[in-house]
Amino acid sequence: MEINPYRAFVDYLKKRRLTMNVYEEIDQETMMLLLDSLCKRTVEGKQIWENMEYNPISFLQKDIYEKEGAYISQMFETTTVFNGIEYELELSESIELPSGKGDIFGTISYETEDGKENTYDFSLSFDVEKYDDANAEELQGIFGNSIIVQFTDAIVGVFENSDAVAEGFAYARYYHQTGIDSEWETNPLVKLGEKLMQEHAMLDFHKIVLDTDYRERLLKR
């Protein structure tokens, strides 16, 4: 089976979610300040992002070691320099099935002065109290104004109409696995994801991650 970069990325962040503790609160605050600064500078056109790579919309069925379900996702990778430090960003948007809940996962890494790598991880679902008890339709109202969502909007704006997205779709495949359960192949949201991939509709997928009203309009289209 071909290795899907989203699976490896999500597996890593799931482990981070389980191991996060109160001693990391300062790091989380620092990260949010960093995301906020990068977001504002990006929107203002002052932040330059380079080495852009895009992994297109794809479907991933969970394996036997996970609870039943699947994901539809897309992923962005890029670097930028801020205050003399180069940051590497990995950012993924996903919709989990069968719940239909959207999520954003990200990690920002950089090298410290002593040569060690420091990493900040973030995700909507890390806010367990708010995320776990909400349904798909409620998530936009809960997280729509969060720094994570605003930052993701800014990054997607950078990637929109870029060579990175065009190159990503040039070699895209929606299914990276064999033996997909028939229930997923006929699932309306899975079929919508495939249609958006075929149409190279990166921006539409970004919108439907949290905007379930827009998602429903596309499903009816």
Q: pLDDT tens-digit profile of 12-58?
A: 455 554 444 444 555 778 889 999 999 999 999 999 999 999 999 99
Report how far residue 221's alpha carbon sits from residue 216's, in angstroms, rounded to the nearest whole number: 9
Q: For the whole model, what pTM was predicted?
A: 0.86
Give the model's pLDDT for residue 182.
83
* Buried-state track 73-103, b at ≥16 Cβ within 10 A, e below 16: bbbbbbbbeeeeeebbbbbbbbbbbeebbbb
Number of domains within the chain: 1
Give the model's pLDDT for residue 1.
46
Tokens standing for 190?
Answer: 């899975």
Asked whether residue 97 carries a pLDDT value surpassing 90, the answer given is yes
**Which residue segment(s) compose the domain that 36 sits in?**
5-220
